[in-house]
């Protein structure tokens, strides 16, 4: 039985913060951020524009000695410090015992199969820095997001090693040793069972599709959550809290029974007929789940916990010219020319969740940021005599399918804005997992 949520001053630290998706989700779940760290220039500018304050030189160094002065833990209501630059130079020991959740999506660059087999690891892999942060802070919980590719069979031995290292972060790797040698030391520590409970973690790894959690986007990722073992968190109850609440089957049924079209009354009949005709005949049970949210839901305004967003204004076909005609109104909702559809580059459809947002100027390859619209034009080669017109999604539309609020500012040119969105954790997905972590901690602490 999960304890009723108790108001506490829960705290968090965000490493590899990027454009702020996971950070915002964690904060919405009730965690007060104490520190952000990010390396990329434009992502840092985005964080400063929305939720953080850059550490100035005179705040990070003692002018009398030139030595680096310790960071200060912000009080409720204070500006949140953003340390820009390489996490490897960041000392977080001052936060020991003060952090409920350490969150972040550490970059894990692809490893060649031969390289992993030989123990040769890409220096851009930042998981070791996440484990160093755990040792310095000893947070109550850790939340990591990463790509589903880590689960591929060829990578499994190394990924299992990553999970074991998070389980035993204080069993440190001997300098110069291979990851295989360190993995054997981790396995031996687990077999001995002699690592103190406050120096080890209980790890839960969950493959997710963001659409199953209310995000209007197909986005397959893994979320790794770890709880400090001395807290004795009920992991079975925690896993149940992560049960998906949305499904494709429920979306299909809502289209067929008309509930979906009740939300979207202005959709032309030819669009409704086309979408309905594409529903498979055999729909699996939806087990009481809610319908997946769609790209149309995002653009027309998603109802999230009673908050209704206004519909985004239409983009004129005459103004796909990169010009913002309303700079004082809705930002980043700008038409862009040159969208194409071809084999392997198929578009998003309004009445499905969006395709995975990727970190590229236009989301290529795969047509991830090209979308079919309800508008059509004559096409004598089409069986219907018409074809549907397509265009690039705007940055604001893309932000909506990542569940960022419309007020969220994005730094840099379009390409950098799209890169930040493609690298981010959808805000709603981060919030779902962070709320489950908060409830699990509440439950554990109420039983302590």
Nearest CA-CA partner of 330 in 400, 392, 389, 265:
400
d(CA 275, CA 255): 8
Phi and psi at residue 397, to the nearest 5°: -60, -40
Q: In degrees to the nearest 10, what's the CA dihedral of 412, 414, 418, 421?
A: 50
pLDDT of residue 119: 47
Active-site residue, 44 included:
no
- Measured from the Cβ of residue 369, the count of other Cβ atoms closer than 10 Å reads 29
Q: Which residues contact 408 (CB under 8 A, 6 or more apart)?
A: 20, 24, 50, 399
pLDDT in tens, 37-77: 999 999 999 999 998 876 543 344 444 445 555 678 999 98
pLDDT of residue 306: 56
Task: Calculate Rg over the CA atoms of the chain.
Answer: 23
- Give the pairing of strands 370-378 and 201-209: unpaired
Token pair, residue 412, equals 């840099």
User: Per mean pLDDT, which of 4-18, 25-39, 78-92, 357-371 is the most reliable?
Assistant: 25-39
d(CA 37, CA 21): 14
Q: What is the pTM of this model?
A: 0.92
- Give the pairing of strands 370-378 and 386-392: antiparallel
pLDDT band, residue 393 (cuts 50/70/90): very high
Domains of the chain, CATH where assigned: 10-245+423-447 (3.40.50.150), 247-421 (3.90.120)
Q: Which of 26, 92, 108, 371 is catalytic?
A: 108
Q: Which residues contact 175 (CB under 8 A, 6 or more apart)?
A: none
Nearest CA-CA partner of 271 in 380, 352, 379:
352
pLDDT of residue 114: 53
pLDDT in tens, 278-308: 999 999 999 999 999 999 999 998 765 556 7
d(CA 320, CA 315): 8
- Measured from the Cβ of residue 371, the count of other Cβ atoms closer than 10 Å reads 24
Answer for the pair 379, 386: CB distance below 8 angstroms, yes or no: yes
Token pair, residue 358, equals 């990727």
Token pair, residue 78, equals 């204070």
Token pair, residue 128, equals 């070791």
pLDDT in tens, 240-286: 999 999 999 999 999 999 999 999 999 999 999 999 999 999 999 99
Q: What integer best gives the mean pLDDT of the chain?
A: 89
Answer for the pair 64, 45: CB distance below 8 angstroms, yes or no: no
- Measured from the Cβ of residue 326, the count of other Cβ atoms closer than 10 Å reads 10
d(CA 79, CA 90): 19
């Amino acid at each position: 039985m999960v304890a009723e949520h108790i108001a506490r001053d829960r705290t968090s630290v965000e490493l590899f913060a990027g454009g702020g998706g996971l950070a915002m989700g964690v904060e919405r779940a009730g965690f007060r951020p104490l520190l952000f760290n990010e390396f990329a220039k434009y992502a840092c500018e985005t964080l400063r524009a929305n939720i953080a304050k850059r550490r100035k030189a005179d705040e990070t160094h003692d002018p009398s000695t030139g030595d680096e002065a310790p960071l200060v833990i912000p009080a409720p209501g204070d500006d949140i410090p953003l340390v820009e630059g390489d996490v490897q130079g960041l000392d977080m020991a001052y936060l020991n015992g003060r952090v409920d959740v350490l969150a972040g999506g550490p970059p894990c660059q692809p490893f060649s199969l031969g390289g992993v087999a030989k123990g040769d690891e890409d220096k851009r892999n930042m998981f070791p820095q996440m484990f160093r942060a755990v040792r310095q802070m000893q947070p109550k919980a850790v939340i990591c997001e990463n790509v589903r590719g880590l689960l591929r069979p060829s990578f499994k031995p190394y990924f299992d090693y990553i999970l074991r290292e998070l389980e035993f972060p204080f069993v440190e790797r001997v300098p110069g040793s291979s990851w295989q040698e360190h993995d054997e030391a981790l396995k031996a520590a687990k077999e001995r069972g002699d690592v103190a409970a406050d120096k080890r973690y209980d790890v839960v790894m969950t493959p997710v599709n963001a659409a199953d959690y209310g995000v209007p986007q197909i986005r397959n990722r893994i979320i790794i959550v770890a709880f400090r073992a001395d807290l004795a968190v009920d992991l079975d109850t925690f896993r149940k809290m992560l049960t998906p609440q949305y499904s494709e089957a429920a979306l299909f049924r809502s289209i067929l029974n008309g509930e979906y079209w009740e939300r979207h009354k202005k959709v032309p009949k030819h669009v409704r007929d086309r979408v309905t005709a594409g529903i498979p005949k055999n729909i699996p049970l939806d087990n009481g789940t809610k319908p997946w949210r769609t790209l149309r839901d995002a653009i027309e305004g998603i109802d999230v916990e009673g908050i209704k967003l206004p519909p985004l204004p239409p983009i004129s076909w005459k103004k796909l010219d990169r010009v913002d005609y309303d700079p004082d109104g809705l930002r980043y909702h700008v038409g862009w020319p040159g969208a194409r559809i071809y084999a392997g580059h198929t578009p998003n459809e309004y009445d499905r969740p969006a395709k995975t947002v990727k970190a590229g100027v236009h989301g290529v390859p795969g047509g991830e940021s090209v979308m079919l619209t309800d508008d059509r034009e004559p096409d004598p080669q089409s069986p219907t005599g018409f074809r549907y017109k397509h265009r690039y999604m705007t940055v604001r539309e893309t932000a909506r399918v990542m569940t960022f609020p419309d007020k969220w500012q994005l730094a840099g040119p379009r390409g950098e804005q799209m890169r930040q969105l493609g690298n981010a954790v959808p805000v709603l997905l981060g919030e779902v997992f962070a709320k489950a972590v908060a409830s699990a901690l509440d439950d554990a602490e109420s039983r302590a």
